[in-house]
């Protein structure tokens, strides 16, 4: 069995699709699973042991200069990799016209390879369903992880009722001996990760509230690591870290950030892909929503999770601290 999963973005969406790969591997031992994804998120399926070949694309960049020679060469190389051997199934978990076209390009001359996706009533962009050879109905009120798994089950006969396995159990924590910014003795001493920065001001939570979170973590004898992703985010992270006595890492790759969170006792973050990744890693995780409703794409994982707030309704400091107390209790449990 050789399957191509098409789930290109965004980071949280890619995280939510990882259990589908686990379901395929469990149903078809030895299956060859490839994954088409935007390059910034390629490290995520690469972390999954059942995914053999990750094909990164840069469509967001390519569409700005479609006639540039370098762009045409890079796109051509990606398509050639996808067409090197025929797939038994191309599965579009994205549900967009764009992703359906990627499926068509991936199939290329292998006309007998079926392309599968959501039916017209289930999909985000109904036009895309007309580009599939096989469609399936999946209720739109299902949580994101469940929708991916149910679609996979409809086309490949996998078990969507088994516990969701994100396939990240082999991610190893960073070694403090190789990263001097980590809290001293963090290989044995516990720490928490905070993610207080975002690309837009509407998504931010007050710095005073982050200070309260830091104080609670200090009471729990957890060191504080404040993660960031851009220069503006770095400045905010440094201010908060200084206030709460935390440390700020250098810029981390997706894989390094995953390893950082793999060693954490708890994670508190805004509505970002890294917060979803922390939950998928099995860390007690609190997601803070200020500009979006968590709805069907809230933070989810095998350990304690909480998705607090909503669009225009930032959660109160008290609500986050209450959830943090529950997360810390889970982290402190003997079998955590």
Tens digit of each residue's pLDDT (9 = 90 or more) over 31-63 = 999 999 999 999 999 999 999 999 999 887 777
Higher pLDDT, 141 or 185: 141
With contact defined as beta carbons under 8 Å apart, do 99 and 6 qualify?
A: yes
Q: What is the pLDDT of residue 65?
A: 77
Alpha-carbon gap, residue 240 to 222, rounded angstroms? 16
Other beta carbons less than 10 A from residue 114's beta carbon: 16
Ramachandran angles phi, psi of 89, nearest 5°: -160, 140
DSSP symbol at 76: H
Alpha-carbon gap, residue 215 to 224, rounded angstroms? 10
Q: For the chain, which residues make up each domain, given as ranges?
A: 2-156, 176-332
Confidence of residue 231 (pLDDT cuts 50, 70, 90): confident
Same fold across 2-156 and 176-332: yes
| Helices 273-280, 254-262: crossing angle, 10 deg rounding | 50
The arithmetic mean of pLDDT across residues 104-119, rounded, is: 95
Instruction: Give the DSSP per-residue string, 94-147.
Output: S-SHHHHHHHHHHHTT-TTS-EEEE-TTTSSSGGGGGG-SEEE---TTS-HHHH
The arithmetic mean of pLDDT across residues 275-296, rounded, is: 96
Per-residue buried b or exposed e for 18-45, using 16+ beta carbons within 10 Å of the residue's own CB: bbbbbbbbebbeebbbbbbbbbbbbbbb
pTM (2 d.p.)? 0.95
Q: What is the pLDDT of residue 85?
A: 86
Alpha-carbon gap, residue 36 to 6, rounded angstroms? 5
Place of tokens 């949280």: 12
With contact defined as beta carbons under 8 Å apart, do 73 and 82 qualify?
A: no
Mean pLDDT of the chain: 94
Is the omega angle on the peptide bond into residue 21 within 30 degrees of 0, that is, cis? no
Residue among 214, 219, 220 at smallest CA distance from 245: 214
Token pair listed for 257:
């950030």
Q: What is the pLDDT of residue 198?
A: 85
| In the predicted structure, residue 327 carries a pLDDT above the cut 90 | yes
Confidence of residue 185 (pLDDT cuts 50, 70, 90): low
The arithmetic mean of pLDDT across residues 24-37, rounded, is: 97
Place of tokens 């569409």: 63
| In the predicted structure, residue 189 carries a pLDDT above the cut 80 | no
Alpha-carbon gap, residue 185 to 227, rounded angstroms? 19
CATH number for the region 2-156 comes to 3.40.50.2000
Higher pLDDT, 220 or 176: 220
Q: What is the pLDDT of residue 179?
A: 85
Burial class (CB in 10 A: 0-12, 13-18, 19+), 221: exposed
CA of residue 225 relative to chain centroid, distance: 20
Coil/strand/helix, residue 5: strand
| In the predicted structure, residue 232 carries a pLDDT above the cut 90 | no
Q: What is the pLDDT of residue 188?
A: 55
Confidence of residue 267 (pLDDT cuts 50, 70, 90): very high
Confidence of residue 127 (pLDDT cuts 50, 70, 90): very high
Residue among 265, 231, 237, 267 at smallest CA distance from 249: 237
Strands in 223-226's sheet, in edge-to-edge order, are: 223-226, 191-195, 266-270, 285-289, 305-309
291 HSE (CA, 13 A, CB side): 11
Coil/strand/helix, residue 63: coil
In the chain, pLDDT over 70 holds for what percent of residues?
A: 98
Lowest mean pLDDT among 3-12, 75-84, 133-142, 202-211: 75-84
Alpha-carbon gap, residue 73 to 105, rounded angstroms? 15
CATH top-level class for 176-332?
A: alpha beta
Bridge partners, residue 70, by sequence: none
């Amino acid at each position: 069995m050789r399957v191509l999963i098409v789930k290109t973005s965004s980071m949280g969406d890619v995280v939510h699709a990882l259990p589908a790969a686990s379901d395929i591997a469990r149903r078809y031992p030895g299956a060859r699973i490839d994954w088409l994804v935007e390059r910034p998120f390629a490290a995520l399926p690469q972390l999954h042991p059942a995914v053999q070949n990750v094909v990164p694309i840069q469509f967001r960049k390519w569409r700005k200069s479609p006639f540039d020679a370098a762009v045409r060469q890079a796109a051509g190389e990606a398509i050639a990799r996808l067409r090197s051997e025929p797939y038994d199934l191309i599965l579009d978990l994205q549900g967009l016209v764009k992703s359906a076209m990627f499926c068509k390009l991936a199939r290329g001359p292998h006309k007998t390879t079926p392309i599968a996706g959501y039916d017209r009533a289930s999909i985000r962009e109904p036009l895309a369903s007309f580009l599939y050879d096989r469609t399936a109905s999946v209720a739109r009120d299902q949580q994101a992880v469940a929708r991916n798994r149910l679609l996979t089950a409809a086309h490949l006969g996998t078990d969507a009722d088994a516990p969701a396995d994100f396939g990240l159990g082999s991610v190893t924590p960073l070694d403090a001996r190789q990263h001097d910014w980590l809290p001293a003795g963090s290989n044995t001493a516990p720490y928490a990760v905070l993610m207080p920065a975002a690309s837009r001001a509407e998504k931010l939570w007050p710095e005073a509230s982050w200070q309260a979170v830091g104080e609670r973590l200090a009471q729990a004898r957890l060191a504080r690591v404040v993660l960031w992703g851009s220069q503006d985010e770095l400045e905010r992270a440094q201010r908060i870290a200084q206030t709460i006595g935390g440390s700020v890492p250098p810029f981390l790759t997706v894989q390094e950030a995953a390893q950082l969170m793999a060693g954490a006792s708890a994670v508190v973050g805004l509505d970002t892909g890294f917060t979803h990744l922390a939950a998928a890693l099995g860390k007690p995780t609190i997601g803070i929503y200020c500009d979006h409703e968590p709805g069907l794409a809230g933070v989810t994982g095998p350990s304690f999770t909480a998705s607090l707030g909503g669009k225009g309704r930032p959660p109160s400091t008290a609500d986050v601290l209450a959830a943090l107390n529950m997360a810390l209790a889970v982290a402190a449990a003997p079998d955590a």
